[in-house]
Amino acid sequence: MEKSYEIKLEKQPKGITSLFLTEMWERLSYYGMRALLVLYLVNALGFSDKDAGVIYAYYTSFVYLTPVIGGYITDRYLSYRFAIYLGSVLMLFGHLSLAISGLSYFYLGLCLLALGNGFFKPNISTIFGRLYVEKPNLRDSGFTIFYMGINLGGLLGPIISGTLGEKVDWHLGFLSAGLGMAIGIFVFYFGSKSLPKSIWEKTKGINLTHAHENATLTNDSENEVVPKIALIGLLSFFSIFFWMAFEQMGSSLNLFALRHTDRNVFGIEIPASIFQSLNPLMILIFGPFVSFLWTSLSKTNRNPNPILKFVISLFFLGLGFLVMVFAANKAESGVSVSLFFLVFVYFWNTISELCLSPVGLSFVSKMAPTKFASFLMGTWFLSTAFGHYAAGILSGYQREWGSMANFYGFFVIVSWFASFILLGIYLWKKNSILPLLESEKTRKLDSSSPIRGSIET
């Protein structure tokens, strides 16, 4: 076993370790800061839940909009290496700005983080993909490793920054996130020297990273182009309902953990922000099992198509918020609820994410007609941004809808209603949709790993 594992590692392109570690440290800084954001606004700055939700909405939505702009600028004016350094440095100064007291420094820090993310995220993923131009068969396994780095950073960030921020000093927590970004820059500076020079060349073009996938997509039938675009638009629209509920984790669920959850374990109070580590931890645990499940079902031709996986995802999402309805009812009686309520909520949210986020990304990348591929991927990112914005705005109404149970019940109703409507559309148009999904061009839609394969890539 040990020998075969070493052989598999040797097949991977040289340089993946440095990019893995760079991404891990950057994600550690991002998720560490994100875990503190709403808690800091409410506790340290005295913001209302509604005002904190608005800021959270603007920040998280811009984080997913700026990569589209940053990628566009890089493609035309910047080198990949310069764009990655530019994004990294902007994010570093953003974290350092958050570490300084004062509202103006706080807003400046958020702006720098969003802008830096726009240059860093699309280009670090592009460079990683370029490593597999000559080894396309290893690309999915390579991105699985890359996603592991994302989730490892997402796991450690809230633990480190959250504990320092809540238990010691808020600004120290933000500073620790900046330290993670600084280490990421350091790793990239030395590690990138081992990367092949060819991956930095603009003349190769990003499409070469997908050459093995796109080779069969150059002759899209004219009568299939519009239906494919419509199908991508449909799933992009329904993904908004997913992110609108899912992103309550960083906002209203974070405040619920702070105010209404018994966080004492063996006499030690767990910081509320640490609960943000549950999602990446569960992805690391359950992601391989979900991947194995899809693979096993494919062998017997029972693997649900992407639309049905979206239906399943939205159902599981509602199930998680149904748990929150019970938790909220108990909390409103004046009792601190068990932390296991949140554990169960995060479990169902994670299973829901694994059924939708990586499936959606893979679906768009392989269903999109070649000449509209970038535009349609941008549409997918845009829908994610809309979902995050809606999540932040809605989070401010946690205690203003008569009861918290009503608030979380809203997400149960919306998730299940969206699941029911999508299923109805699928059954109504099944005879038109199935030929598109089962064609040779889209036969391997779910080949990408479920390890946080969303817009994180």
Q: How many Å apart are CA 61 and CA 68, to the nearest integer?
A: 12
420-429 long-range contacts, CB within 8 A, separation 24+: 422/234, 422/238, 422/307, 422/310, 422/311, 422/314, 423/308, 423/311, 425/234, 426/307, 426/308, 426/311
Say what the pLDDT of residue 357 is.
86
Q: Which two tokens stand for residue 204?
A: 């190769």
Closest by CA to 321, choosing from 263, 407, 259, is: 407
Q: How many Å apart are CA 430 and CA 403, to the nearest integer?
A: 40
261's enclosing H/E stretch is strand 261-262
Q: How many Å apart are CA 56 and CA 320, to the nearest integer?
A: 22
Q: How many Å apart are CA 5 and CA 1, to the nearest integer?
A: 6
Q: How many Å apart are CA 73 and CA 62, to the nearest integer?
A: 16
Say what the pLDDT of residue 374 is.
63
Which residue stretches of 267-370 are H helix? 278-299, 306-331, 339-367
What is the pTM for the complete model shown? 0.85
User: pLDDT digits over 4-49, tens only?
Assistant: 333 344 477 877 888 889 999 999 999 999 999 999 999 999 999 9
Q: Which two tokens stand for residue 396?
A: 């401010």
Say what the pLDDT of residue 439 is.
65
The Cβ of residue 363 has, within 10 Å, a number of other Cβ atoms equal to: 26
Q: What is the 3-state secondary structure (H, E, C) of 363-429?
A: HHHHHCCHHHHHHHHHHHHHHHHHHHHHHHHHHCCCCCCCCHHHHHHHHHHHHHHHHHHHHHHHHHC
Say what the pLDDT of residue 221 is.
63
Architecture of domain 15-215: Up-down Bundle (1.20)
Say what the pLDDT of residue 444 is.
47
Q: How many Å apart are CA 311 and CA 307, to the nearest integer?
A: 6
Does residue 337 sit in helix, strand or coil? strand
Residue partners of 410: CB distance under 8 A and separation at least 6: 394, 401
- The two most distant CA atoms of the chain are separated, in Å, by 66
Angstrom distances, CA of residue 40 to CA of 45, 49, 83, 103, 262 = 7, 11, 30, 12, 20
- Alpha carbon dihedral 247, 351, 265, 411, in 10-degree steps, equals 40
Angstrom distances, CA of residue 277 to CA of 68, 175, 338, 455 = 27, 19, 17, 18
Asked whether the beta carbons of 152 and 59 are under 8 A apart, the reply is: no
Q: Which two tokens stand for residue 318?
A: 């509602």
Q: Which two tokens stand for residue 202?
A: 């603009």
One pLDDT digit (tens) per residue for the chain, 457 residues: 433 333 344 477 877 888 889 999 999 999 999 999 999 999 999 999 999 999 999 999 999 899 888 888 888 888 889 999 999 999 999 999 999 999 999 999 999 999 999 999 888 887 887 887 777 767 766 777 888 888 999 999 999 999 999 999 999 999 999 999 999 999 999 988 888 888 887 654 444 334 334 433 344 566 778 888 899 999 999 999 999 999 999 999 999 999 999 999 998 999 999 999 999 999 999 988 888 888 888 888 888 999 999 999 999 999 999 999 999 999 998 899 999 999 999 999 999 999 998 888 778 877 877 777 767 877 888 899 999 999 999 999 988 887 999 999 999 999 999 999 999 999 998 888 888 887 644 444 444 444 444 434 4
- Alpha carbon dihedral 346, 360, 201, 441, in 10-degree steps, equals 150
Q: Do 15-215 and 222-457 show the same overall fold?
A: yes
241's enclosing H/E stretch is helix 222-246
323-329 long-range contacts, CB within 8 A, separation 24+: 323/348, 324/253, 324/256, 324/408, 324/411, 325/405, 325/408, 325/409, 325/412, 327/256, 327/260, 327/408, 328/256, 328/260, 328/403, 328/404, 328/405, 328/407, 328/408, 329/403, 329/405
Q: How many Å apart are CA 360 and CA 306, to the nearest integer?
A: 7
Which residue stretches of 44-169 are H helix? 49-77, 80-98, 103-130, 139-163
Cα-only R_g, the chain: 22
The Cβ of residue 247 has, within 10 Å, a number of other Cβ atoms equal to: 25
Q: How many Å apart are CA 416 and CA 312, to the nearest integer?
A: 10
Say what the pLDDT of residue 220 is.
59
Q: How many Cα atoms are found within 13 Å in the side-chain-facing hemisphere of 104? A: 0
Does the domain made of 222-457 have the CATH classification 1.20.1250.20? yes
Ranges of each domain in the chain: 15-215, 222-457
Backbone phi, then psi, for 313, in 5-degree steps?
-60, -50
Label residue 369 left, alpha or beta by phi (over 0 means left) and psi (-120 to 50 means alpha). Answer: beta
